[in-house]
Amino acid sequence: MIAEKYITSGCLISNHTVYKNGELLFVNKDADVPGFLLSVYKHFDINYSRFYKMDNLSKLGWLASEILLKNSFQKENYRPEDIGLILSNANSSLDTDQKYMASVKDIPSPLLFVYTLPNIVTGEICIRNNFKGEDAFFVFDSFNADFIENYVSSLLDNNILQACICGWVELLGDEYKAALFLVEKLKGNEAVSFTKEHMNKIFDDKKIN
């Protein structure tokens, strides 16, 4: 029942930079958080009008998923219900919660309210890619690679999923970090084995070696 599992792609967005599989792809040190996210969107030449409606947490997670999957994922190899997402962060949707609460004093904004749930970022990624498998959002005070490894492994080993995007999407005020990992049972060119050590190494040092 235990299947071989690999990280076939990894994307890290933090501290004004975008890394994919250890390679620095983009830097923009001169922008605030919304400006940085918009510059990433433009740099990677993505055309998706929903992006402009998203809150900052969703923009961050969604951009990380776009870069993670681009040229690295053969979606056609899978049925939509076999691809899932297991995401986590520390402060849930607090960044947008504050903005929504500010709107309540005037006119409560339904557009902001819908983003006051952390799993909306998961929904945005599913809508974009037609992923219909199991998704879940967990909240830990810091990135818990041990939990993610065990949970995602059990979903893949039991054939609940065949491919899974997992990791961390955190944004609060000026601080942000997304670290997403594509986990598959097929070994690709960039693949390393799916372990908590490899996830932590990418999370902290951007690359394995």
Partner 1 sequence: MSGVFIVSDNILSPIGLTTSKNFGQLKKSVSGIQKHHDTALSDQPFYAALFDQSGFIKDSDHKYTRFEQLLMASISDALQNSSVDAGDKKTVLIISSTKGNISLLETESYNPTIQKRISLPASAKLVAEYFGFINQPVVVSNACISGIMAILTGMRLIQSGQYENAVIAGADVISKFVLSGFQSFQAISPGPCKPFDVNRDGISLGEGAATIILSANPKNAQGIKVMGGAVSNDANHISAPSRTGAELCQAITKTLDNAHLLATDIDFISAHGTATIYNDEMEATAITLANLQTVPVNSLKGYYGHTLGAAGLIESIVSIHSLKENLVIPTLGFNETGTTNPLNICTDLLSGNFTNCLKTASGFGGCNAAVVFSKQ
Q: Does 143 bind partner 1 (CB under 8 A)?
A: no
CB of 94 to partner 1, least distance (A): 6
User: Residue from 4, 150, 197, 204 that binds partner 1 (CB under 8 A)?
Assistant: 150
Of 86, 92, 138, 140, the closest CA to residue 116 belongs to 92
Number of H helices, E strands in the chain: 7, 8
Give the span between the Cα atoms of 12 and 22, in whole angstroms: 9
Write the single-letter amino acid at 121: V
HSE toward the beta carbon, residue 80, CA cutoff 13 A: 8
Binding residue (CB under 8 A) for partner 1 from 17, 28, 39, 119: 119
Question: Closest separation between CB of residue 2 and partner 1, Å?
Answer: 11
Contact 65, 126 (CB under 8 A): no
For residue 19, which of 29, 27, 11, 9 has the smallest C-alpha distance?
11
Query: Which of 26, 44, 78, 147 is close enough to bind partner 1 by CB under 8 A?
Result: 147
For residue 132, state whether it binds partner 1 (rule: CB under 8 A).
yes
Least distance from C-beta 179 to partner 1, angstroms? 18
- The reply on whether position 135 binds partner 1 by CB under 8 A is yes
Q: Record the tokens describing residue 173, joined without a space.
A: 């005020």
Q: Among 26, 44, 78, 113, indicate the residue that binds partner 1 (CB under 8 A).
A: 113
The C-alpha atoms of residue 21 and residue 108 are separated, in whole angstroms, by 42
Q: Does 141 bind partner 1 (CB under 8 A)?
A: yes
Q: How far apart are CA 25 and CA 66, in angstroms?
A: 13
Residue closer to partner 1, measured from CB, 39 or 153: 153
The residue ranges that bind partner 1 (CB under 8 A) are: 80-81, 84-85, 90-92, 94, 97-98, 100-101, 104, 107-110, 113-114, 116-120, 122-124, 126-127, 129-141, 144, 147, 150-151, 154-155, 160, 172
